[in-house]
Amino acid sequence: MTAKCKERWQAMAEGKSTYFTGKPCKHGHICERQTDNKTCLECSRASNIKHYWKFPEKRRAALKLSRERHPDVRAAIQMKRHALELKATVAWADYEKIQDLYRESRRLTDLTGILHHVDHIVPLQGKSVCGLHVHYNMRVITAEENMKKHNKVFDELFD
């Protein structure tokens, strides 16, 4: 693990995107800050989530436009995700139960009008551990919950 810079200027000189002062931000978070604007990562994450849900139609339109303009980028992202799932799928995985989870996600979205995702409880690309693409490791949750979770295991959410 690399040592974290304590000063913004030091992190910028080393070309790093974050630095850590050990001091709380104005909202009390003690975490790394972004070198470009001094914002703590927790505040930035919360702001991104708030903005994400504030303008869903605008976000969908921008995403659609981006997909139309850059189909190669979208294809690369989808293939990377597909490769991760293939790598994390074991021979004994029950594909029917996995499909049932995706069907349930779609059903709940249609029924409630709230977007639902299929979440990997232990993420496929976690920091401390990587999970499997099997139905035992998957659940249907709201998209908002899933976006807040990122690639964290349950225990890591409270660190």
Q: Give pLDDT tens digits for 97-149.
A: 999 999 999 999 999 999 999 999 998 887 778 889 999 999 999 998 888 88
CA atoms of 40 and 77, how far apart (whole Å): 27
Domain boundaries, the chain: 1-54, 55-88, 92-159
Q: Give pLDDT tens digits for 43-75.
A: 988 888 777 767 777 877 888 898 899 989 888
Helices in the chain by DSSP H: which ranges? 8-13, 41-54, 56-69, 71-88, 95-112, 143-149
Position with higher pLDDT, 159 vs 154: 154
